[in-house]
Structure 1
């Protein structure tokens, strides 16, 4: 933190000479008139000014999305101090808002942050790709959305809103960009009128770049297209039909080796764990020759040998498409809105990271319909009532080769959810608004599947057996193929560990074997919850107001392929908020401030760990781990000191603490590698009594939640006869924070700055433009998503490296 004031002072001086771009006002503001403009949002399901909306909301304009090179959902974290968006395999993105979120990396866990595309809730975190082009804006809503939005919005919502067709307007716009890593981007949109009452808008997108990592992974091959038809048969009725398609190729990043973890021993026995940095860079993928040599040198105690390789090759072949309809019918009594939607995804991807090779094939489809009625009772009462139905069906197969353990999974899961909601705002006097809103949600989920788990042993663990020629888990497609492989190599496959059997039954403490450990699940869950919001707003003037609210949020329970931990319960969040939004200096200065206190209960937590089987298996599971308290403030400032100068700053301060955070791992002799206190216990499971360690991380801060997040922005426009020069800079500071719940010092992301610079020559009317840019000037790559593999090597991903290039745009 000592560098923080110095760096901010430097950036502030640089911005005085070379101001940078503001997030949304530059696109929507009236800078030519010397005043900040209004941004219209739909955060409360009706169109209104952002400054009149009593919510904490970051609005990201289309120009800022282009400036920050947002081509995937994970890139959104560069646009909002409150948001952490972490990319994963197969297009999966995990979102955290103000420290609230969960690692949703498979098809049977749901996100805690609602992702809404074109007004439609998207249930799969793997289906948020391919939509970031020809957008009007992105709205990031902070805090539980327990009344008006979708489902499972414990920590907030992200609304991605495309540009819509315009009547009686012919227009063409587009841009092309090229940069390092051979990064080619193409975007275009055409708006065509069809008579006086119908318009069509078609848009497309392409983003291709070479690998960010030395092993050829982390490359991008994505394309998308969207077509919309809009009609106004009468002044009271409008209809819209939208179709979109996207394909994702390329490969997920393999990750890099942070270092190795080794137990140490002294005269009295176990003396702790020693971490040794790998010496490899963040861009040396796990398939790099140096990385492979490091892996091969590691001794796998369970297999009794060294010499492992990672020979899987990451790839993506994922397709997404959807159809959305929207009807708005206006009457003297109010407006009816109906929005049905259908979305499908077909995923086929391979990834590595901590695995030798992992792969998933998945078919998703969701159907939804939402209906709303918004009206007024006189001048004092506004109301909105509505309902939503959501139905999701998923069929998937997956395999996860961890060198000494491989599960082969096959499952079908479904979610049926319906909700009724309403909101009433009453104004007893003109300046005061009182709001009450509520939502009743009913979720029904089913899960039917089998995980066939195979675990390789070189005899009895812990007695130092050596099996130098024992084959590690092969890269095969099915459980039958794996059994045939080991049978042909003379390795016994058994449902019971050989070391627990007597010799007369074929038992042995030294003979290698493969343990077959199936995990079947055929179960269902039904959760329902009433959530609500109470709020008050007082307008001191047309440009100054204060607000306060209390709101509750809810996230449904679900399933995991983990013995003894097959299901988990819903989580809830209570949010207390007080804030103020203001314009001063004849609409040249905007200051918004919000303070918040969140109480998180029965929190869901997803991580790689052991289940409670005997013996245990390494699995990715979700469980309820306790409660937490999150408090802090957001400060957003925008200033037009001159008609061609725009400055802004966003600051978020977070104080987070887990009030109770307890989870269990099997006791296999050595203590767990964690900075949290732990105690040995026994636990009764369906398979019998097992020894475990209870790990207590209570009192620790939330991970993925930096205490300070600061973004400084500005823009300077310099008129040059018939053209203009626009100079831009942006820097984002995040203080150090843990990125894993083990709270180990080497899993703490350091304080970093990421700065973007650009210069644009454009026509006065913006009909054409040419931009040169550099993103991540410092080339700072924070650690994200760390895990430990079977060789006790810590594998993690890193944020995007420095990129630079040019971009040309046109519109007419």
Structure 2
């Protein structure tokens, strides 16, 4: 879809809505994400589809009590305390205080969420043990990311949106009814401030800290007339490298422009456009140790693990790290001496435009939201390899039509949704002794119809039924041209020696690689030379490069009906309980694996019971929820054989098993005095893989895993291949600590027309397995990270000055651990170090 076509569709939808006749004057209708038109009004009744809040989502429920927050997670405006769902809400001041500028920063403020950067522009999300670590362009995320009411299809396109926000909502559990694309793990809703009528305002904040950290954002709201407004906002975020090799720096900026018009008392429309650029060398990693196989008289007897004991900021490009890598003997190449050649970089651009039209008609509001988004990726990452380069263009168009309202004792939402995506990508993964060059296009067409009905059976009891039918049609067409370096027969023992053979070079295409080896007299062949008789040029010792080509031209269609059944009971105006059963679905996808080109969808069933309460004149809040999930056909990525002839070792995604997840999530707030607030949240989650089995190639010693590893054979296209059958049943989910909690305190000290605000908090996360092979060597240690700040300013908050420090303990938790197969080295990343600085802000009304 061209940009012109996208703009035409947006304009057509708005003109169509404008041409609709108006009805009698009613309250302003609900926006695309459920928010009301941006005009001041009172807090609506729970589940009201046409009420809403102004841009500020913090509404005092009592002059002396805890504030309330309006959310739209169920596509209607309602108090977070009256929404019968598992949700965490992050206020804009918390985003600023915690320096949330990237998607992975969200994990600092939501215990149930684990978000991590995987290099380039990619971020992975895991909620309560459900998520995915595959971020290639031919798989979908298991946790949906929605920006301004629009589903973002690529995990590479979630950056550049964390400024001038109303709030961020994190929904925990399957989202199988109301959202754009179904997701098994949850959803993240990033909701910007909207233009406000009759308001001339400007605000901004800027901070400076160690590592030359600069975070700045600003917004201006301009009334156009009594029925129109314009809002412009922008941000800039940068810091020097956190690692000593010049990696883990940041250089990002973006802008968002919106225009809003209230065409009649019952009809409004909004158009929003945004742009973001991501630069810097975001990738960062450290060598954490090596697992070396031990062979005795009877053969393999186990592994010896040698930690590097490197500091968390010791990057892989430092002289120490390069020497460490060069010292490792790589048996497949018959030599040592390799170093990382590539230098990571980002040069990624993202932009989008949406139109949102709301028309109050009959008992409800009709909402029409067409949107177009595009990203252009140019980056290089080096996670345990010479370099992985990506040149990619992603385009998506989505359209949603939704009608929400209330009639008698019934609240209803009904709608339809379309999502179309087209991706063209050129990538390569240069891995010392192996490199695939991949060129592909992939398309997705997803259609859905959904509805939700809530019956208020009595003044206290409400029953809900919701459902969604989704059909996903996908197409994948591409080629993978793979080259594998061998020092003679890889099965020889002892291994062959090739002290001068060059490792796979960092070159961007296959022609350059072939020319490189031709100039050095190393043959490239699609049949292993050691398998040929000597009379035909075969050799058991001379180096060669094996070339395997894979062409995938495949399509798949998945469809699923998902649903939710729920009940809620209000004990009083401030206490309620709820129970629900919900199903979720995550579409299948593709892999560059001959004969294993696609994999099935994964599904989840979730039981939830919870209670939300306010006590003691609205000064104490206590919410608690229990959950029990059954997760099936989990999608898991690992190395294995494809079904080619001959079979080739590839990185592929397969359905490997099922798991059981259960736990308790609780949060509390205590307004001790009108100037003293204490809050905290805790999550306990137990995860267990009931069945988790897959095969990996048998390349000698079994893999370093605490899972069961049994040598065996697999017959692939009539060819018997040696494999290890891996059984990780009984293991917990990766990236999921059993215990995690946050504790925070805030004290306000009045000083006449001024005030001082003291804030402090800590976050604890328990030990968690980070290596998906479940090695006993590498895990994330339990620990806390604490933050503190002191703010001074006038009581009307026209300006403020804040001094802050984050991660007081300088505790840098490891994440994203994996083993580099060729060398046996484990590589991992560490979280940000201690940061501190000064933040100033001002606003004009």
The interval holding the TM-score normalised by the smaller chain is: over 0.9
Alignment-derived partner of residue 9 in structure 2? none
Q: Is 1:410 equivalent to 2:439 in the alignment?
A: yes
Q: 2:474 aligns with which of 431, 445, 448?
A: 445
Does the 8 Å contact 2:240/2:249 carry over to 1? Answer: yes
Does the 8 Å contact 1:213/1:253 carry over to 2? Answer: no
Alignment-derived partner of residue 22 in structure 1? none
TM-score of the aligned structures, taking structure 2 as reference length: 0.92
The 1-side partners of 2:281 and 2:206 are apart by: 23
Alignment-derived partner of residue 533 in structure 2? 502
Does the 8 Å contact 1:445/1:525 carry over to 2? Answer: yes
Give 1:565 deviation, angstroms: 3.0
Give 1:741 deviation, angstroms: 2.2
The 2-side partners of 1:284 and 1:401 are apart by: 22
Q: 2:361 aligns with which of 300, 311, 331?
A: 331
Q: 1:248 aligns with which of 257, 269, 278?
A: 278
Give 1:564 deviation, angstroms: 4.4
Does the 8 Å contact 1:54/1:547 carry over to 2? Answer: yes
Does the 8 Å contact 1:177/1:806 carry over to 2? Answer: yes
Does the 8 Å contact 1:27/1:62 carry over to 2? Answer: no
Deviations 1:562-608 (A, max 9, x none): 34432110000000000001110000011111000000011111345
Q: Is 1:110 equivalent to 2:113 in the alignment?
A: no
783-792 or 535-544: which moved more? 783-792
Alignment-derived partner of residue 198 in structure 2? 168
Alignment-derived partner of residue 793 in structure 1? 825
**Mapping of residues 171-186 of structure 1, within 5 Å:** 171-186=201-216
Give 1:615 deviation, angstroms: 7.0
Q: 2:454 aligns with which of 412, 425, 436?
A: 425
The 2-side partners of 1:532 and 1:447 are apart by: 29
**Mapping of residues 173-572 of structure 1, within 5 Å:** 173-378=203-408, 380-463=409-492, 464-572=495-603
**Mapping of residues 65-214 of structure 1, within 5 Å:** 65-214=95-244
Does the 8 Å contact 2:640/2:695 carry over to 1? Answer: no
Deviations 1:693-752 (A, max 9, x none): 110000111111111010001211101122111100111101101012221122211101
The 2-side partners of 1:189 and 1:156 are apart by: 30
How many residue pairs get matched? 786
Q: Secondary structure at the match of 2:322?
A: helix
Q: Secondary structure at the match of 2:741?
A: strand
Deviations 1:734-791 (A, max 9, x none): 1101012221122211101010111111211111011111111111111111122222
Does the 8 Å contact 2:772/2:818 carry over to 1? Answer: no
The 2-side partners of 1:667 and 1:743 are apart by: 18
The 1-side partners of 2:668 and 2:508 are apart by: 55
The 2-side partners of 1:731 and 1:345 are apart by: 36
Give 1:79 deviation, angstroms: 1.2
Q: 2:666 aligns with which of 632, 635, 644?
A: 635
Does the 8 Å contact 1:612/1:666 carry over to 2? Answer: no
Alignment-derived partner of residue 768 in structure 1? 799
Give 1:611 deviation, angstroms: 4.8
Does the 8 Å contact 1:441/1:530 carry over to 2? Answer: yes
Q: Is 1:808 equivalent to 2:840 in the alignment?
A: yes
The 2-side partners of 1:669 and 1:476 are apart by: 30
**Mapping of residues 13-24 of structure 1, within 5 Å:** none
389-398 or 254-263: which moved more? 254-263
Q: 5+ residue gaps in structure 2?
A: 1-55
Q: 1:134 to 1:658 in 2, by over 3 A?
A: same
168-177 or 608-617: which moved more? 608-617
Deviations 1:494-533 (A, max 9, x none): 1011111111221111111000011211100100000000
Q: 1:750 aligns with which of 762, 777, 781?
A: 781
Q: Is 1:28 equivalent to 2:63 in the alignment?
A: no
Q: 1:721 aligns with which of 752, 759, 767?
A: 752
Give 1:467 deviation, angstroms: 0.6
Deviations 1:52-98 (A, max 9, x none): 10001000000000111100001000110100001122210000000
TM-score of the aligned structures, taking structure 1 as reference length: 0.95
Q: Is 1:668 equivalent to 2:680 in the alignment?
A: no
Give 1:680 deviation, angstroms: 2.0
The 1-side partners of 2:107 and 2:334 are apart by: 43
Does the 8 Å contact 2:61/2:68 carry over to 1? Answer: no
The 2-side partners of 1:357 and 1:602 are apart by: 32
Q: Secondary structure at the match of 1:706?
A: coil
**Mapping of residues 679-690 of structure 1, within 5 Å:** 679-686=710-717, 688-690=719-721
The 1-side partners of 2:311 and 2:600 are apart by: 40
Q: CA RMSD in A?
A: 1.4
Q: Secondary structure at the match of 2:67?
A: coil
The 1-side partners of 2:496 and 2:759 are apart by: 63
Does the 8 Å contact 2:753/2:794 carry over to 1? Answer: yes
The 2-side partners of 1:68 and 1:705 are apart by: 22
The 2-side partners of 1:763 and 1:323 are apart by: 38
Q: 1:550 to 1:371 in 2, by over 3 A?
A: same
Alignment-derived partner of residue 10 in structure 1? none
Deviations 1:285-335 (A, max 9, x none): 100000000011111100001110112100000000000110111123211
The 1-side partners of 2:182 and 2:638 are apart by: 19
The 2-side partners of 1:226 and 1:610 are apart by: 46
Q: 2:629 aligns with which of 594, 598, 622?
A: 598
Does the 8 Å contact 1:616/1:666 carry over to 2? Answer: no
The 2-side partners of 1:421 and 1:596 are apart by: 24
Deviations 1:89-115 (A, max 9, x none): 221000000010001321111100000
Q: 1:324 to 1:797 in 2, by over 3 A?
A: same
305-314 or 616-625: which moved more? 616-625
The 2-side partners of 1:247 and 1:253 are apart by: 16
Q: Secondary structure at the match of 1:745?
A: coil
Does the 8 Å contact 1:704/1:739 carry over to 2? Answer: yes
Alignment-derived partner of residue 80 in structure 2? 50
Does the 8 Å contact 1:651/1:710 carry over to 2? Answer: yes
Does the 8 Å contact 1:711/1:732 carry over to 2? Answer: yes
Q: Secondary structure at the match of 1:449?
A: strand
Q: Secondary structure at the match of 1:728?
A: strand
Runs of 4+ in 1 over 6 A off after TM superposition: none
The 2-side partners of 1:714 and 1:231 are apart by: 41
Does the 8 Å contact 2:328/2:336 carry over to 1? Answer: yes
The 2-side partners of 1:106 and 1:252 are apart by: 17
Does the 8 Å contact 2:554/2:597 carry over to 1? Answer: no
Alignment-derived partner of residue 586 in structure 1? 617
The 2-side partners of 1:60 and 1:511 are apart by: 61
The 2-side partners of 1:765 and 1:758 are apart by: 19
Q: 1:607 to 1:169 in 2, by over 3 A?
A: farther
Q: Secondary structure at the match of 1:38?
A: strand
Give 1:673 deviation, angstroms: 1.4
Q: Which has the higher contact order (CA 8 A, sep 6+)?
A: 1
Alignment-derived partner of residue 31 in structure 2? none
The 1-side partners of 2:839 and 2:604 are apart by: 43
The 2-side partners of 1:624 and 1:587 are apart by: 48
